[in-house]
Structures are given as structure tokens and as C-alpha cells.
């Protein structure tokens, strides 16, 4: 290949994906996940990790099949990320120190309730209402607990990943809420385009389903309360959708400049062709009624990729199954793609795996690439009662064989966060 073949339409290094790893409630590893996802299997189930008596939402897409050294979101999020990174590096044929930067999308960490109760057990009695932290401080002043300190640091997960995989420099731990996974990938793409590195490790992980997390989202009326049967609760783009199903998982993508991937004879799984983002200033949890920021995000991703609207063959929707998101996402897609949208299949992985929050953008990027690699569009399951105002080909209920060469993946989140990725099949 000539040098020009390694540059995109703007003269920047083309970014290839050479390794992928994934874990969700459907299983561990891309093979198992893809078999379940393309088979229309739901990973949503009743919560057993903690009691759910009295809660309006009692279902989730938790990952319950792993053994952890300790039960807390840091251990979970680290474990998922470590496993998917092992898988991705093996596929990429990389061993030893990774030697490039790490971009990690991880959930904001809060101290565990079990830790607070344990401190309270050791603490002097209450002197006045609201003095629990004074008592906790007395306990720790007397005897510091470095393990507790480490468990409360936002940088703890990336630190362990950086050590284990030998990444270079300061790892970035980021949150753009439900767009985090896509942002991690975007940061990796940017670093390679800057010429700072030939490769980047991009990871999205979320093992943060706890009682408090569930209750907080429930208090914002964001979650589905259709608990029975759990598998039917997540039903994006339907008339009776009533909220998302909280879930866990992780995905890792090894990004490399196409030039360096080809030079070392790596198999190129796909091209991370373009990224777009645009923040929304309308509201903390709701998007602008005109959809302008989401529209601008999708357009920015297409422009960055150098692909016209009619070049997109499939859309991996954010599709959370909340009344608000699905309506707004449809508005933005129909504005960008116009009449052409009717010819573009659009499905939501969340109908099966739920909303993996911080990890969603990365997991859905892996599934988007797998869609192109296999020529199979994963379905939107639970599509029994279509929302008549959302006219989409959602690949209803059953997978479809169709070869596509360019995919758009959307991620939108609280705090006005919007990010979209455009991926293409190899060759670019």
C-alpha cells in the first residue's frame, strides 16, 4: 500500500480496530455475546445481588457469572475491563507492554454502604443527628485504612489497568455519562490522529449496579418498572416503552493507525472512520426539543468520517427505551437522513443487554463492527407494539442477514452529552 492509502480524506492517519473484547449480561467474550445478541436473547433478569423488596424496579442486566475478590463497583468495573482487554489484546495479537495510552470510561465511584456501616460499627456513638462523618473520621484518624482510600479514588481502575497492560503515560479516566464509551474511543482516535501514538487502548466499563444507583435512577423516573417478565421490559421504539433497564458490562477496542496495523501484519477488523460530539444546554436530563445538538452530533460524525448520509448502511441506535430518548433520537435521525432513513435499518442492542451506562458506547461499537464483519444485523427485540410516531426499520425481533459497509452508532447522556461514531468495514 502507498502512504496515501493510510491517510483519510483530510490527510489524517486512518484509525483501524485490531482487537475487541466484550462482556455483558449475555456472557463473556465476543463469540458468546454475538451468538446471543444475533439470536435475539435477552440478558435482563430479576436482581439477586441485593434485596429489591419495596422497589419499583427489580430487574437489571447485571453480570452475575463472575467471581470477584470483593463485592463493590470498583472491583466489578476493573474485573470486566481487565477481561475484555485480555480478549481484545489476544485478538490483536499483542502481548507484553501495550506501549500506548489508555482511555477508560468508568462509572463515578462512591464509597460503598457496606464500608459506611463497617465504619459506623467501629465508631463512637452519635452525639447529635447528622454526625456520622465526624465519627467515621475519628475511626480513620485512629487507624487509617489505605485499602478503603484506594477504593474511593476515581483513578483506581485505570491505575490497575495501566499497570497490568503496560500502557504509556497518564491514563485518562472519563465520564460523559451514557456517552462515555464513545468518548473514550474518540479520545483514542484523536491521539492517533495527533501523531502522539500509533496505538491506543480504549475501554468502557460499568459494574455499578447497586441499590443506591438503582434507586437514584428510579427517583428520576428513568427506569422501566415493567418487571414481569424481565426479558420484555426493554422495548425501544415501542408505544409502551417506559424507561431503560440498568445494566452492566464492558468492552475494549484496540485502536491502531492503519499504517502500523498493516506493517505488523495485524488483521484489521474495521475502521474507526469518524467521531462527532455536541453538547446540549437545554436541561440536565432532557434534550433540546428541536433535537439540534443530537442532529449536530450525527452530522459532525459523518463529516469527520467523510461519508455522506446515503453512505450509512445501518444505525446502531442509542435506543434506551425511555419515552424521551427514543423520540428525540428518531427526530434527530429523521432530520439528518430525511427520506433516506426508511432504507436504513436501525436496531437497539439495549433491547437485549439493557443500558450498560458508562460502557454502552464501547460495547455498541464492538457490536457495530461485528455487524459488518458477520453481515448480520442484530434485532430490536420486544418490538410488539410499535410507536406509530417513530417510523423506523428496527430489524424487529429477528436478526437479518445484510452486508453493510458503514455503520453509525449513537450515544446520548444526561448532562447534555452527545457522541456519535462512524465505523466502516475494512478496507477503508
Partner 1 sequence: MTKAPNDVVITGIGIVTCQGVGTEPHIALLKAATAPELKIEAERFAPYPVHPMPEIDWSQQIAKRGDQRQMENWQRLGVFTAGLALDDAGLKDDAEACGTMDMIVAAGGGERDINVDSLIVDEGLKRNDREQLLNEKLTTELRPTLFLAQLSNLMAGNISIVHKVTGSSRTFMGEEAAGISAIETAFARIRAGQSTHTLVGGGFVAERPDVILLYEALGAHATGGWTPLWSRDENAGGGIISGSAGAFLVLESRAHAEGRGARIYATIDEIGGDRGRREDGRLESRLDALVDGLAAKAESAIIFSGASGMHVLADREKTWLDTRFAGVPVRAYGGVTGHALESQFPLGLALAGLALANEAKVPAFDPSSEGTMDGAADTAIVTTIGHARGEGIAILKAEK
**Which positions from 186 to 225 touch partner 1 by CB under 8 A, shown as an x/- string?**
-x--xx-xxxx--------------xx--xxxxxx-----
In the set 116, 264, 299, 400, which binds partner 1 (CB under 8 A)? 116
Q: Provide CB contacts within 8 A for 142, sequence distance 6+.
A: none
Check: CB of residue 76 under 8 Å from CB of residue 207: yes
Kindly tell me which of 70 and 90 has the beta carbon lying closer to partner 1. Answer: 70
- CA distances (Å), 329 to each of 67, 308, 372, 391, in order? 37, 19, 22, 12
Q: How far is the CB of 127 from partner 1 (least distance, A)?
A: 11
Residue 117 within binding range of partner 1, rule CB under 8 A = yes
- The rounded distance, in Å, linking the Cα atoms of 362 and 9 is 25
In the set 64, 86, 131, 309, which binds partner 1 (CB under 8 A)? 131
Question: Which own/partner contact pairs does 78-81 have at CB distance under 8 Å and 24+ positions apart?
Answer: 78/156, 78/157, 78/160, 78/161, 78/205, 78/207, 79/207, 80/23, 80/205, 80/206, 80/207, 80/248, 80/249, 80/250, 80/359, 81/106, 81/157, 81/161, 81/203, 81/205, 81/250, 81/252
Q: How far is the CB of 239 from partner 1 (least distance, A)?
A: 26
Residue 8 within binding range of partner 1, rule CB under 8 A = no
Q: How far is the CB of 393 from partner 1 (least distance, A)?
A: 31
**Which positions from 282 to 321 touch partner 1 by CB under 8 A, shown as an x/- string?**
xxxx-------x----------------------------
Count of residues of this chain found to bind partner 1 when the rule CB under 8 A is applied: 82
In the set 183, 208, 348, 424, which binds partner 1 (CB under 8 A)? 183
Which region holds residue 347: left if phi is over 0, alpha if psi is between -120 and 50, else beta? beta
Using alpha carbons, select from 43, 46, 64, 63 the residue that is nearest to residue 382: 43
- The rounded distance, in Å, linking the Cα atoms of 294 and 336 is 10
Q: How far is the CB of 117 from partner 1 (least distance, A)?
A: 5
9 is catalytic: no
Q: What's CA 291's distance to the chain center, in Å?
A: 22
Residue 417 within binding range of partner 1, rule CB under 8 A = yes
Name the catalytic one among 9, 45, 178, 275.
Answer: 178
Q: How far is the CB of 133 from partner 1 (least distance, A)?
A: 4
Kindly tell me which of 320 and 380 has the beta carbon lying closer to partner 1. Answer: 320
178 is catalytic: yes
Name the catalytic one among 149, 275, 283, 355.
Answer: 355
In the set 26, 162, 255, 331, which binds partner 1 (CB under 8 A)? 162
Q: Give the chain's largest Cα–Cα span.
A: 75
In the set 129, 265, 388, 401, which binds partner 1 (CB under 8 A)? 129
In the set 46, 93, 108, 338, which binds partner 1 (CB under 8 A)? 108
45 is catalytic: no
In the set 32, 64, 86, 159, which binds partner 1 (CB under 8 A)? 159
333 in helix, strand or coil?
helix
**Which positions from 39 to 78 touch partner 1 by CB under 8 A, shown as an x/- string?**
-----------xxxxxx-----------------------
Q: How far is the CB of 156 from partner 1 (least distance, A)?
A: 8
* The three cell numbers locating residue 416: 447534555
- CA distances (Å), 215 to each of 55, 75, 225, 316, in order? 8, 21, 12, 28
In the set 1, 70, 153, 263, which binds partner 1 (CB under 8 A)? 153
* The three cell numbers locating residue 6: 493510510
In the set 48, 113, 289, 403, which binds partner 1 (CB under 8 A)? 113
**Which positions from 265 to 284 touch partner 1 by CB under 8 A, shown as an x/- string?**
------------xxxxxxxx
Using alpha carbons, select from 333, 402, 337 the residue that is nearest to residue 371: 402
In the set 127, 141, 388, 401, which binds partner 1 (CB under 8 A)? 141
Phi, psi of 273 (to 5 degrees): -85, -35
Q: How far is the CB of 291 from partner 1 (least distance, A)?
A: 14
Using alpha carbons, select from 374, 310, 313, 362 the residue that is nearest to residue 338: 310
- The rounded distance, in Å, linking the Cα atoms of 286 and 278 is 15
**Which residues are part of the catalytic machinery?**
178, 318, 355
Amino acid at each position: 500500500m502507498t502512504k496515501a492509502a493510510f491517510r483519510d480524506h483530510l490527510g489524517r492517519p486512518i484509525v483501524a480496530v485490531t482487537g475487541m473484547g466484550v462482556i455483558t449480561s449475555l456472557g463473556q467474550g465476543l463469540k458468546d455475546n454475538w451468538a446471543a445478541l444475533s439470536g435475539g436473547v435477552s440478558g435482563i433478569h430479576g436482581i439477586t445481588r441485593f434485596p429489591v423488596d419495596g422497589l419499583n424496579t427489580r430487574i437489571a442486566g447485571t453480570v452475575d457469572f463472575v467471581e470477584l475478590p470483593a463485592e463493590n463497583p470498583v472491583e466489578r468495573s476493573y474485573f470486566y475491563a481487565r477481561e475484555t482487554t485480555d480478549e481484545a489484546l489476544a485478538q490483536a495479537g499483542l502481548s507484553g507492554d501495550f506501549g500506548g495510552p489508555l482511555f477508560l470510561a468508568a462509572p463515578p465511584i462512591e464509597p460503598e454502604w457496606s464500608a459506611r456501616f463497617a465504619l459506623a460499627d467501629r465508631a463512637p456513638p452519635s452525639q447529635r443527628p447528622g454526625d456520622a462523618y465526624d465519627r467515621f473520621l475519628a475511626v480513620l484518624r485512629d487507624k487509617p485504612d489505605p485499602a478503603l482510600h484506594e477504593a474511593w479514588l476515581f483513578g483506581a481502575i485505570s491505575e490497575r489497568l495501566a499497570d497490568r497492560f503496560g500502557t504509556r503515560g497518564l491514563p485518562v479516566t472519563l465520564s460523559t455519562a451514557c456517552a462515555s464509551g464513545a468518548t473514550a474511543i474518540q479520545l483514542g482516535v484523536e491521539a492517533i490522529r495527533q501523531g502522539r501514538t500509533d496505538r491506543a487502548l480504549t475501554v468502557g466499563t460499568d459494574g455499578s449496579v447497586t441499590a443506591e444507583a438503582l434507586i437514584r435512577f428510579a427517583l428520576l423516573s428513568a427506569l422501566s418498572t415493567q418487571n414481569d417478565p424481565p426479558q420484555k421490559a426493554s422495548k425501544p421504539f415501542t408505544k409502551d416503552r417506559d424507561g431503560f433497564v440498568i445494566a452492566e458490562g464492558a468492552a475494549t477496542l484496540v485502536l491502531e493507525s492503519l499504517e502500523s496495523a498493516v506493517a505488523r501484519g495485524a488483521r484489521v477488523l474495521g475502521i474507526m472512520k469518524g467521531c462527532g460530539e455536541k453538547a446540549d444546554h437545554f436541561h440536565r436530563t432532557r434534550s433540546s426539543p428541536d433535537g439540534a445538538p443530537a442532529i449536530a452530533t450525527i452530522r459532525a460524525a459523518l463529516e469527520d468520517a467523510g461519508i455522506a448520509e446515503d453512505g450509512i448502511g445501518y444505525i446502531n441506535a442509542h435506543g434506551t427505551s425511555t419515552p424521551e430518548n427514543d423520540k428525540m433520537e428518531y427526530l434527530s435521525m429523521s432530520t439528518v437522513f430525511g427520506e433516506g432513513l426508511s432504507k436504513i435499518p436501525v436496531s437497539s442492542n439495549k433491547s437485549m443487554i439493557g443500558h450498560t451506562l458508562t460502557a454502552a458506547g464501547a460495547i455498541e461499537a464492538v457490536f457495530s463492527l461485528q455487524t459488518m464483519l458477520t453481515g448480520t444485523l442484530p434485532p430490536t427485540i420486544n418490538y410488539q407494539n410499535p410507536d406509530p410516531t417513530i417510523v423506523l426499520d428496527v430489524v424487529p425481533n429477528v436478526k437479518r442477514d445484510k452486508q453493510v459497509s458503514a455503520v453509525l452508532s449513537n450515544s446520548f447522556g444526561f448532562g447534555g452529552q452527545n457522541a456519535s461514531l462512524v465505523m466502516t468495514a475494512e478496507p477503508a
